[in-house]
Chains A and B, each alone.
Chain A
Amino acid sequence: MTDKTVIKGGVGEAIPHDSATLHVSGEAVYTDDIREPQGCLHAYVLQSSYAHARIRKIDISECYSDGVHAVITAADIPGINDVAPVFSGDPVFAEDEVFYAGQAVLAVAATTRELARKAAHKAVIEYEELPALLNVRDAIKAQSFVGETCTMQIGDSTAGIEKAAHRLQGELEIGGQDHFYLEGQIAMATPQESGDMHCWSSTQHPSEVQHLIARVLGLSDHAVTVDVRRMGGAFGGKESQASLIACIAALLASKTGSPVKLRLDRDDDMTLTGKRHPFHAAWKVGFDEQGRIEGIEIDLAANCGMSADLSNAVVDRAMFHSDNAYYLGNARITAYRCKTNMVSHTAFRGFGGPQGLLVIENIIDEIARYLGKDPLAVRKINLYDAAGALENRCTTHYGMTVEDNILPDILARLEATGEYARRIEDIRTFNDRNRILKKGIALTPVKFGISFTLKMLNQAGALIHVYKDGSIHLNHGGTEMGQGLHTKVAQVVAAEFNVDISRVKITATSTGKVPNTSATAASSGSDLNGKAAQAAARIIKERLVDFAARHFDVEKDAIRFEKEGVRIGSQLVNFAELVSHAYENRVSLSSTGYYRTPKLHWDKEAAKGRPFFYFAYGAAISEVIIDTLTGEYNILRTDILHDVGNSLNPAIDIGQIEGGFVQGTGWLTSEELYWDEKGVLKTHAPSTYKIPTSRDIPDDFRVALFDRENQENTVYRSKAVGEPPLMLSVSVFLAIKDAIAATGKGPIVLNAPATPEEVLRAITKARSAS
């Protein structure tokens, strides 16, 4: 333990990820890298090949052979056969009916994975195929829903549209997206004494995994401990989806009495687990000569798959973000939660927000094209009132006042630094001179609501121990999936004690240390856990101050934690020395910390309230070039200006912004999920499902942080950063649309993802009317 005057790793410093040296050396331990306990068995899950079928018979008699320890079906579950996170309806194993192609039917534990696979495929399952619903249109026709259809409204949308000088209507198809975390789903469960269970799980939600293992095994929550040190990516895909994998491992471990590891290979992972919801949107809008919206109606239909999972909240968030940055005035947003015979779609970075946001940005674009105006001008006049200048355009369609809108400043600065006006002219010239290649540009803003929209989830806990040598053990309820949460929280704790970050040991998230945690999701990780850890540190600090005041006989306000050590009156005492004294004088050096987000309220019946503590903002300009012969494209340049409040760690925040943008770009361009006419996913590995590579990022990529503190009292006035930047990628989609518009005078109809095929189709249509 060093006591240098220059301390490293305080808040605001761009220190590397706490595991960076372990990542690059291959020494970081992921679940599959943990040394397997003796006798560890390996599991395999047999999946349904039908989208919808009745199971007439399951015969597992042929499955057993040497080395096959257990074959389990729904009948072997001692507790409840359901791993649904909120509502019911997500069975571990299908009972008498399968509801999607890929659904788990049974699982095998054997001495090797290959053997388990072979054994599972020897099961004889008789299916009777049933009709399947595979898209939202059919689901709506059949009134097949996973949740209530609901509406958020403000003013009179019908009258607003009718009275408007101009009206437009249209539709938009939005594809889903696979998370494609590089580390597939995995869990390793080890039976403990008296029927207890321990599980290493690659999960964003260890508490839920704990509770669900207890539920399927018929145990109390206290009998199950779940740990996670790190995930190899998650993006929402390991929020509710990790439970199924962990529960199967635990069921097999319980049945066999041996440790069991279940690691899905890529194909099984992609066919078994949920993805981003595909959406269909239909809209009508009325607006004035300037493009100002006077009335709007949007119908969203989400393909939720076979169960509710998190779909209610996902679709709520799509509705909440159907305004993006714009005051809608008279608005009615309706959403259908369609139940189909597909995998149950789930949380994915943005959580419905991206779909809602894309719809309104596309509408603004349509308005601008119709009026022949620069889309940026139409965006600007529709913005909510600026922070500090609230008038009558600051209420959302769900009744929340937007108090912190900083987009006017962000847009103005980005427009200048991104040379928007000049480039529009350059592009026009380029397009006039080139017949095969065309360029396009778009500037789009993001306003993203921060908080779980279910109020209950906005709480967090932390646990800090200070050992006698002055080293600090940090634990909190958040999980590390690459986003740098542990680094940021450690920075907060180091800053609180004013010690070098090397004093702070980051430890695996464990349900045994911090209970009843929320998922690390909704971008909330550092807001919630940073505050909870800060609270724990402050409790210990207060005890140290109390002690020091007594022990050294000084006033409490004469004690300060400084870089050089703890200033106690006129003396400077080494932090470790003070801690050691405190221990000797029987002062508790361990504390929990707790935080709950203030100001939130939501009236579900009225669909009104304040679901968000604050908003995070940002904007991007993207310029693309398209090949009109093939529909291929390339992003020439992207400029991003993004708001993270006071950054806890600028390097990590920029990493989230760039990574989110590129991931969003994948969603809107090359990442096409393809189900065949039987509802079987055909793009279930990277050979067929194409996420961006290093060549797909903008040739010229400029990212900057907008330097302004959070108006609300968050940890060090920082802002959440996980999800909002993903939606900056809408600028790429609309830039492609802008380039297509240069090819002809016909309608510009572009759906997402804008694969080269989709772009060529749109070009053909644009040219058809010219």
Chain B
Amino acid sequence: MADTIRFILNGKLREVADLSPTTTVLQYLRTVEHLTGTKEGCAEGDCGACTVIVGTLANGAIRYHTVNSCIMFLPVLDGKHLITVEYLKVLAGGSLHPVQQAMVDCHGSQCGFCTPGFVMSLVGLLENTPVPSKEDIQDSLAGNLCRCTGYRPILDAASIAARKGKVHLPSDAQLLRSLQRDALLTYEVQGQKYFAPRTADELAGLVTENPEAILLAGGTDVGLWVTKQHKLLMTLIYTGAIAELHEINETDGNLEIGAAVSYTQAFEKLAAYDESMEVLLQRFASTQIRNSGTVGGNIANGSPIGDGMPPLIALGAKLVLRSAAGVRMIALEDYFISYGKQDRMPGEFIEKIIVPGKAANVLFKTYKLSKRFDQDISAVCSAFALTMDGKTIKSARIAFGGMAATPKRALNVEKYLTGRQWTDETVREAMQFLAQDYTPIKDMRASAEYRMVSAQNLLYRFYIETSEPGTKLRIYGNDG
């Protein structure tokens, strides 16, 4: 009783029954639909040449966001509207869409290969942010690489299109509504299975029945297992169609984030913790990746360099794991046992993350460090939370990514700081204890020495930022 995958492609209904569930949306567009405007530049969600727009029904209305089609599996489109560059002229009544026209007028293309991706990113931006700032534009393009133009004409085109743009993406949700399902989606092609449950209970049942199944959330990591590692994934269970897992709630001062909430959806609530958190999230992957990637997936994959981990650990986040047998709650840091090994038992899945509110007497900052500001995996990612009693440190929670095989707390530093005065002398001494907490490795992102020295310096930055409010620290924005 296998289902078909039903979605809308550029305004027209599509039904797919015979393509492998790990076919990427990009492969589908280029080889099945012969829509070759969407390009492959990297097949890992890092260059943006494959950018498309996906419309999802939420609370009765369609929400559009840009995604990387190169790492998105086709069945994820079930019940959604996929829009490609080819549709823009149709929407604009046969002439170029204002974004396209502005790109021509500003000389925003040279070789043109990245151009459709840029166009889609900008159309996505203007759909959600009609009057964008320069920073908004750059944020929306953090995941789009151009090797020819030097970007200036593209940024100009974005500003001009924002002033002229009047063409909107379709708002009529009727067709999309007719594609929504209440029941589990089961899709199978040549032994490869794909399940999209609708409730957490269904999910719990499926995970128990299919202990070998891969849980698929945003697919920004799992997609690469196929496109880069060339693995054959036999069973996938998609968490993205479960309404409960998409909830964000604030209860008793805690922020509860469902495992399937995307980073884009969580952005605002998380950014409210601190300005530095907002900068971290801005540097966290790209708009396309944040639109797909989930908070739950970022935790579940157990990466030592997941940027969400240090701040969430420092803030004292708890993880709720669920199975058919019930739920259990653990401290987020305890989830990471060792490299590639997490505290998730067979039949379990992450249901939500509970992040405590930040008390008034807590000093909190988080910093990311990488070769490039935009969309770069951290060399070091850090977060610091000190609970203060006047000038005295009552307790400390400090966590780093990129410094060990897992995201990890700096327990020796924390211990040293606890009970001491928050002074220049204290912080300089505390910096030395980082060497007891971590033995970082050397790789293509950074040497061991740089990781250690910069980690120490980030702790020092935390001190300056919390103790010397006048000191200029930002190389982007007004401090320059």
- Contact code string B352-385 (vs A, CB < 8 Å = 1, else 0): 0000000000000000011111111101000000
A27 touches B457 (CB 8 A): no
Contact of A231 among B99, B111, B474 (CB under 8 A): B111
B261 located at the interface, meaning its Cβ lies under 8 Å from any Cβ of chain A in the complex: no
Q: Mark B40-61, 1 if CB is under 8 A from A, else 0.
A: 1111101101000000000000
Total A-B contacts with CB atoms under 8 angstroms apart: 271
B38 in contact with A26 (CB, 8 Å) = yes
Comparing A284-292, A298-306, A357-365, A626-634, the segment that makes contact with chain B is A626-634
Q: Is there contact, CB below 8 Å, between A24 and B476?
A: no
On whether the beta carbons of A658 and B149 are closer than 8 Å, the reply is yes
- Which of the residues A16, A182, A265, A629 comes within 8 Å of B39, measured between beta carbons? A182
A662 to B142, CA, bound (A): 16
Q: Are A434 and B472 in contact (CB under 8 A)?
A: yes
Q: Is A19 an interface residue (CB 8 A)?
A: yes
Indicate the size class of the contact surface on chain A: 35 or more
Contact of A634 among B370, B375, B476 (CB under 8 A): B476
A234 to chain B, nearest CB (A): 8
Tell me if A690 and B230 are in contact (CB < 8 A). no
A-side contacts of B36, CB under 8 Å: 26, 29-30, 32-33
B152 within 8 A of A: yes
Contacts of B479 in A (CB 8 A): 437, 625
Nearest chain-B residue to A14 (Cβ)?
B107
Q: Judge if A403 is at the interface, Cβ distance under 8 Å.
A: no
Q: Which of B47, B228, B457 contacts A629 (CB 8 A)?
A: B457
Q: Are A688 and B107 in contact (CB under 8 A)?
A: no
Q: A484-B110, A629-B454, A634-B475 are in contact. Are A694 and B155 (CB under 8 A)?
A: yes
B461-A670 in contact (CB<8A) = no
CB distance from B356 to the nearest CB of A (A): 29
Stretch at the interface among A241-249, A515-523, A705-713, A754-762: A754-762
Write the nearest CB–CB distance from A525 to chain B, whole angstroms.
Answer: 13
**Is A693 in contact with B374, judged by CB distance below 8 angstroms?**
yes
Stretch at the interface among B112-120, B388-396, B400-408: B112-120
Q: Is the interface of B mostly helix, strand, loop or mixed?
A: loop
Pairwise interchain contact B142-A693, C-beta atoms closer than 8 A: yes
Is B104 touching A16 in the complex (CB atoms < 8 A)?
yes
- A484 and B119 CA atoms in complex are apart in Å by 20
Contact of A482 among B30, B99, B148 (CB under 8 A): B148
Question: Is B147 touching A435 in the complex (CB atoms < 8 A)?
Answer: no
Interface string of B109-135 (1 = CB under 8 A from A): 111111110010000000000000000
Q: Which residues of chain A come closer than 8 Å to B153, judged between CB atoms?
A: 655, 658
> Which of B44, B86, B458 neighbours the largest number of chain A CB atoms within 10 Å of its CB?
B44
B446 at the interface (CB under 8 A from A): yes
A510 to chain B, nearest CB (A): 20
How far, in whole Å, are A230 and B111 apart by their CA atoms in the complex?
8
Structural contact, B147 and A233, CB atoms closer than 8 A: yes
Say how far B168's CB is from chain A's closest CB, in angstroms.
18
Contact A232 B112, beta carbon cutoff 8 Å: yes
Residues A634 and B480 in contact in the complex (CB < 8 Å), given A24-B96, A629-B458, A690-B372: yes
B142 x A630 contact (CB < 8 A): no
Per-residue CB proximity of A11-36 to B under 8 Å, as 1/0?
00010110111111111111011010
A20: chain B residues at CB < 8 Å are: 103-104, 107, 109, 112
Q: Does A696 contact B (CB under 8 A)?
A: yes
Q: Does B460 contact A (CB under 8 A)?
A: yes
Question: With an 8 A cutoff between CB atoms, is B138 at the interface?
Answer: yes
What is the minimal beta-carbon distance from B451 to any residue of chain A, in angstroms? 9
Chain A's closest residue to B377 (CB) is A687
**Is B281's beta carbon under 8 Å from chain A?**
no
Q: Could you say which residues of chain A place their CB within 8 Å of the CB of B49?
A: 182
By a CB distance below 8 angstroms, the chain A residues around B450 are 631, 757, 760-761
Q: CA A235 – CA B443 in complex, angstroms?
A: 28
Note all chain A residues with C-beta closer than 8 A to B272: none
Cβ of A682 within 8 Å of any chain B Cβ, yes or no, is yes
A29 partner residues in chain B, CB cutoff 8 A: 36
Tell me which residues across on chain B come within 8 A of A652, comparing CB atoms: 107
Complex: A537 Cα to B372 Cα, angstroms: 49
Instruction: Determine the distance from Cα of A67 to Cα of B375 in the docked complex, in whole angstroms.
Output: 39
A117–B460 Cα gap in the complex (Å)?
50
Q: Is B326 an interface residue (CB 8 A)?
A: no
Q: Using Cβ atoms and an 8 Å threshold, which residues of chain A touch B30?
A: 32
Question: In the complex, what's the smallest C-beta–C-beta distance from B469 to chain A, in angstroms?
Answer: 13
Which of B101, B150, B453 is within 8 Å of A697, CB to CB?
Answer: B150
Known: A23-B112, A25-B88. A35 touches B34 (CB 8 A): yes
A129 at the interface (CB under 8 A from B): no
Are A670 and B141 closer than 8 Å at their CB atoms?
no
Give the shortest distance, in Å, between B37 (CB) and chain A (any CB).
2
Residues of B within 8 A of A28 (CB): 112
A24, B109: Cβ atoms under 8 Å?
yes
Complex: chain B residue closest to A634, CB-CB: B475
Is there a chain B Cβ closer than 8 Å to A372's Cβ? Answer: no
Q: How far is the CB of A75 from chain B (nearest CB, A)?
A: 27
B84 within 8 A of A: yes
Nearest-CB distance from B442 to chain A (Å)?
Answer: 10
Docked-complex contact A24 and B110, CB < 8 angstroms:
no
Beta-carbon contact of B148 and A659 below 8 Å: yes
Determine the chain A residues whose CB is within 8 A of the CB of B374 once the complex forms.
693-696
Q: A267's closest neighbor in chain B, by CB?
A: B228
A523 to B104, CA, bound (A): 24
Which residue of chain B has the shortest Cβ distance to A651 in the bound complex?
B107
List, in ascending order, chain B residues with CB within 8 A of A685's CB: 42, 44, 46, 228
Shortest Cβ-Cβ A-B pairs, 5 listed: A26-B37, A482-B111, A232-B113, A23-B112, A662-B150
Q: A24-B115, A630-B461, A693-B375 are in contact. List 7 more A-B contacts (CB 8 A).
A: A24-B101, A24-B116, A233-B147, A662-B150, A685-B228, A696-B373, A757-B446
Give me the interface of A with B, judged by CB distance under 8 Å: 14, 16-17, 19-30, 32-33, 35, 114, 117-118, 179-184, 230-235, 265-267, 434-437, 439, 481-484, 625-627, 629-634, 636, 651-652, 654-655, 658-663, 670, 672, 674, 682-683, 685-688, 690-697, 699, 701, 703, 755-757, 760-761, 764
| Cβ contacts A to B, 5 pairs, < 8 Å | A179-B147, A482-B109, A632-B369, A694-B151, A760-B453
